[in-house]
């Protein structure tokens, strides 16, 4: 793995469950590949959603025509996290312990992923740190996963 500030490139074969890419989130995963963190945004009121949904603030045009994917800051705060220590799946054998966190994005929605980098919270009471998205490119399989790291 090579590691820049917010990009991790992996050429290792993926031995874990594959990301579930479907009709609703394929644009989101395409955005990740371009190193953009997209949110599903209402063009009328600017409310942000993730995953894809109808805007709850007003009547929607047919099939949420008032909604579109839009680039977000990719920044937020740690809302809660846990530290996995048991190996549930053989693909994670060399990865435990890992911090799996709920991130409250600056735009509002919650998103979850693991924390990467040297700075990790010390215990479950230690929340609220600012984080930003890190793009983990898997070149063999051709997908990108979002991770988060603590920033100042």
Partner 1 sequence: MPKHPSSGQYAIVGLGVVAGQQPDRSERMIASEAARLAIADAGLTTRDIDGAIDLRRTGGGGDRASYVDAYSRMLGLNNCFYFVVGRGGALAGLGIATALSFLDRGIAKYICLMGAVTDWSQAQESRKAGHRGMAHAEKAGYWGKALGDLRAVSHHSWMAARHMAVYGTTSRQLGAISVAERAWACKNPEAKMYGRPMTIEDHQNSQVVADPYHLLDLSLVSDGGIAFILTTADRAKDRPKPPVYVLGQGFGEVSADLWWEKKNFTHMAVPRAKEQAFGQAGLTLDDVDCCEFYDCFTAEVLFQLEDYGFCKKGEGGPFVESGAIGPGGSIPVNTGGGLLSCYHLGDLTGMAESIRQLRGEAGEHQINDCNVVLTTGHGGELISPGMCSIHTGTLLGRHQ
Residue ranges that bind partner 1, judged by CB under 8 A:
16-20, 22, 50-51, 56, 79-90, 92-93, 95, 97-98, 100, 102, 104, 109-114, 124-125, 127, 145
76: exposed, middle or buried (Cβ count in 10 Å: 0-12, 13-18, 19+): buried
Q: What distance in Å separates the CA atoms of residue 111 and residue 132, rounded to the nearest whole number?
A: 12
Q: What are phi and psi of 30, to 5 degrees?
A: -65, -40
For the bound state, the minimum distance from the C-beta of residue 52 to partner 1, rounded and expressed in Å, comes to: 10
Of residues 69 and 98, the one with the C-beta less far from partner 1: 98
For the bound state, the minimum distance from the C-beta of residue 38 to partner 1, rounded and expressed in Å, comes to: 14
Return the beta strands (E) in the chain as ranges: 2-3, 7-10, 38-42, 48-49, 67-71, 75-84, 98-105, 110-114, 130-138, 143-150
For the bound state, the minimum distance from the C-beta of residue 90 to partner 1, rounded and expressed in Å, comes to: 4
Of residues 36 and 121, the one with the C-beta less far from partner 1: 121
For the bound state, the minimum distance from the C-beta of residue 49 to partner 1, rounded and expressed in Å, comes to: 8
For the bound state, the minimum distance from the C-beta of residue 78 to partner 1, rounded and expressed in Å, comes to: 9
Of residues 70 and 102, the one with the C-beta less far from partner 1: 102
Of residues 22 and 68, the one with the C-beta less far from partner 1: 22
Of residues 46 and 51, the one with the C-beta less far from partner 1: 51
Q: For tokens 């890419």, name the residue.
A: 21
Other beta carbons less than 10 A from residue 67's beta carbon: 20
Inter-CA distances, 14 with 60, 88, 135, Å: 40, 16, 16
């Amino acid at each position: 793995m090579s590691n820049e500030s917010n990009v991790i490139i992996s050429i290792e074969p993926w031995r874990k469950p594959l990301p579930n890419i479907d009709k609703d989130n394929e644009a989101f995963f395409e955005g990740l590949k371009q190193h953009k963190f997209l949110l599903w945004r209402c063009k009328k009121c600017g409310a942000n959603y993730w995953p894809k949904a109808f805007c709850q603030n007003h009547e929607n045009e047919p099939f949420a025509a008032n909604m579109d994917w839009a680039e977000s800051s990719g920044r937020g705060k740690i809302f809660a996290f846990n530290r996995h220590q048991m190996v549930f799946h053989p693909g994670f054998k060399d990865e435990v312990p890992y911090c799996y966190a709920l991130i409250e994005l600056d735009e509002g929605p919650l998103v979850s992923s693991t924390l990467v980098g040297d700075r990790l919270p010390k215990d479950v009471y230690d929340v609220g740190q600012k984080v930003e998205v890190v793009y983990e490119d898997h070149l063999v399989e051709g997908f990108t996963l979002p991770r988060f790291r603590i920033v100042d």
